[in-house]
Every structure is written in structure tokens, then in C-alpha cells.
Amino acid sequence: MIWVKAFLGAMVMVVGLSAMSHARDSLQRSWEVFQEVHVAADGRVVDDGNAGISHSESQGYTLLLAAELDSPGVFARVWTWTRNNLLIRDDGLVAWRYDPESQPPITDVNNASDGDLLIAHALSLAAKRWQRQDYREAAEDLALAIRNNLVREVGPYTLLIPGSEGFDQDDGLVVNPSYWIFASLEEMQELDPDPTWQALIDSGRELLRDLIATYPLIPDWVVVQADGSFAPTEDLPWESGYNALRVPLYLAGGGVEEAEVPGAFARSWGDEGTPFPVIQPLDGEAEVEFNDDPAYDALRQLLACARQEQGVGQRSLSPESFYYPATLLLLSNLYRDRGFPEC
């Protein structure tokens, strides 16, 4: 019977390798669709669900995907456009919004710290993958700019300011919990060995735990007050929406286990194939807003794998999906294949 066990073991290995190969092929095809639909010839990444603008987030996501999926030509094109058009601030941070219909096209010179992190992360990965010292130097410069300009201590937390302007308040700081991109913060720690990065990682985990213990879901925006308590913002919607739905994605991408947080999202997102709840009000009054773009199902599938629900199919990207859900699908499938290859 020993030979039978050996044969069965070999078959399981072959099936597993075949499934992993299929997943990689599917991811590569989805990446090709993304490039064709959302990346212009000059390297500008077009947010077709947001009036065709571009922003540091869209450029950062695409640079990160290009580095992860070994696409040096795409990376160079997107980085060149980003460097030439968005790196215009004196402090080394990246202007967040570019509108081709406006003159000048930079309609808001403020930065967005998640875009800064994504770009620095991508540059660091690209430097290692393709032995590019210029990418390494650019990553180091941006990491230092983030650390010097975008970190505050409030109450028990080390916090990441969403942007250099407009988020400080007399009684605390407005933060966006989805800006804690844990894999990017880990990369910054390797790139720039300073204890600030670990403090941000630890504080981000603590912040998410405390928020989910206080509210049914993670808010898009919340005020962290001087005593460490939370409050809704005055000028931004009180909801768990398009921003916050990235929180479980970033936990999975960083290999961070905070079971209560993805569990709450999994319960609220419902079953695969049904319209996806993209805006869930936290005031108990407004109605939930749904989106039927099938790319959002990749988030559900990633959570199902993380929660050890086996046999979950992988969705491929449709050319009909808008930029934002398309990006979430690619990252979800990338993190799923890397962290949960058995699923």
C-alpha cells in the first residue's frame, strides 16, 4: 500500500501545482486586460469611474502591480508619467489629483499618504527586482518625506495623516484607516530602518481593533481625539464605504491577523454574485448603496480563503469593470495566490 500512498501524494501535488499555474495564468490575463483598458500610452492611469482623472493612488497601484507581475516596461512608462506630472511638491511628496480637462491639470496640490506609500513601495520592489539604483534612491527619498511630514502622535496612537494639509483639528486628527497599507509599511521599514514604521504598523492594528470594538464597521474617515476616543468628522460622510472596503485587503496583503475586522466585513458583504455593498452608513438612517460590478466579488473570495472556506473560484477581470474595482480584483487575486495557494 506504500506505493498507493505515494501515488496519491504525487497526484495531490500535481493537482496543486496545476491549480497554482492556472491561477497565475488567470492573474496575468487580468493584468493584460487592466493595461489595455486603464493605462494610457503615456503612462497615465485613468480612473474611468471618476470623470477620467488620475491620482497618486491610481499611479501607485499600477506601479505596484507592474513590479509584482514583472512588467518593467509598464513600470517605466507609469513611473515616468508620475515623476513628470505629480512630483511637483517642495517636500518630496506626490500631488494627489490630476484632471486632464483642467488647466493646469493639478487641481489640488495636496498629497494623499496612501498614494505616497504605494509609489514608494512599488519603487522599492522594482529596485530589487530589476537592480535599479535610481528606483531605490527615489523610494528612499519618498519614504523619508512620508516619515518626516505625515506622522503624528495622538493619544495612544502613532497616526498617518491622510494629507499634509486639512486634517489637523483642535481636538485631534482626522484619519483614514484604509491608508494603513501594512505590506507597504513593512517595505518602508526595510527601506528606511527607523522605529517610526513599526510604531505605525502596531498602532494601525490597535486602531482597527479599537474601531471595530466601537462601530459595526470601519469608517472611511474618523476623528481620533486627543484622549484616544473617536468621533465622526464634521465635513465627511459618516460611513464605511469605498475607502474602508480596502481594509481587509490590506490586512491579507500584509499577512496581518485581526480576525474581528475581516469577519465583520465578510458578514456585511453578503454572498458572492449579489450586488456588492460599497457604502454602508454608520448613522443607522441612510440606505446601503450597492454596486453590481462583478470585480468586487474578488474581495469576497479573498476573505473566504482567509477564513479557510475552501473551493472558492477565482474571478477574472472583465474589460467592463471600472478602474477601482479592477484594481481591487488584481490585488485580491495576487494576495490570494500568494497567501492562500491551497484555496
Whether 217 has a pLDDT exceeding 80, the answer reads: yes
Q: Which residue has the higher pLDDT, 10 or 190?
A: 190
Q: What confidence tens digit (pLDDT) does each residue in 65-80 have?
A: 999 999 999 999 999 9
- Confirm whether 92 is domain-assigned: yes
Q: Which residue has the higher pLDDT, 6 or 246?
A: 246
Strands 230-231 and 157-160, by their bridges, are unpaired
Grid cell at residue 20: 497554482
CA–CA distance, 18 with 11 (Å, rounded to integer): 10
Q: Which residues contact 303 (CB under 8 A, 6 or more apart)?
A: 248, 252, 262, 265, 266, 269
The pLDDT of residue 244: 98
Whether 16 has a pLDDT exceeding 50, the answer reads: no
The pLDDT of residue 22: 56
For cell 499634509, name the residue: 164
Whether 12 has a pLDDT exceeding 70, the answer reads: no
- Quote the strand ranges of 36-117, DSSP E: 54-55, 95-98, 108-111
In 3D space, the residue among 163, 182, 261, 249 whose CA is nearest the CA of residue 219 turns out to be 261
CA–CA distance, 265 with 235 (Å, rounded to integer): 25
- 3-state SS track over 224-291: EECCCCEECCCCCCCEECCCHHHHHHHHHHCCCCCCHHHHHHHHHHCCCCCCEEEEEECCCCCCCEEE
The pLDDT of residue 311: 63
The pLDDT of residue 7: 40
Whether 6 has a pLDDT exceeding 60, the answer reads: no
Written as one letter, the residue type at 108 is D
Q: What is the DSSP letter of 218?
A: -
In 3D space, the residue among 251, 252, 247 whose CA is nearest the CA of residue 268 turns out to be 247
Q: Which element (helix H / strand E) includes 199?
A: helix 195-214
Whether 3 has a pLDDT exceeding 80, the answer reads: no
- Confirm whether 181 is domain-assigned: yes
**3-state helix, strand and coil shares in percent for the chain, rounded to the nearest 5:** 55, 15, 35
User: Which residues belong to the active site?
Assistant: 57, 114
Categorize the per-residue pLDDT at 272 as very low, low, confident or very high, splitting at 50, 70 and 90.
Answer: confident
CA–CA distance, 175 with 150 (Å, rounded to integer): 11
Written as one letter, the residue type at 171 is D
Phi, psi of 79 (to 5 degrees): -65, -40
- Confirm whether 18 is domain-assigned: no
Average model confidence (pLDDT) across the chain = 92
- Confirm whether 8 is domain-assigned: no
- Confirm whether 11 is domain-assigned: no
Q: What confidence tens digit (pLDDT) does each residue in 124-183 have?
A: 999 999 999 999 999 999 999 999 999 999 999 999 999 999 999 988 999 999 999 999
Whether 13 has a pLDDT exceeding 70, the answer reads: no
The pLDDT of residue 310: 66
Categorize the per-residue pLDDT at 4 as very low, low, confident or very high, splitting at 50, 70 and 90.
Answer: very low
Query: How many beta carbons lie within 10 A of that of residue 134, not counting itself?
Result: 11
Edge-to-edge strands, sheet with 168-169 = 168-169, 172-175, 222-225, 230-231
Written as one letter, the residue type at 100 is P
- Confirm whether 304 is domain-assigned: yes
The pLDDT of residue 17: 42
The pLDDT of residue 24: 75
Grid cell at residue 117: 506609500
- Confirm whether 142 is domain-assigned: yes
Whether 328 has a pLDDT exceeding 90, the answer reads: yes
Q: What confidence tens digit (pLDDT) does each residue in 83-106 have?
A: 999 999 999 999 999 999 999 999
Query: What's the CATH code of the domain at 135?
Result: 1.50.10.10
Q: How many domains does the chain have?
A: 1
> Residue 37 belongs to what domain range?
24-339
Mean pLDDT of 231-247: 96
Mean pLDDT of 20-45: 90
- Confirm whether 7 is domain-assigned: no
Mean pLDDT of 293-302: 95
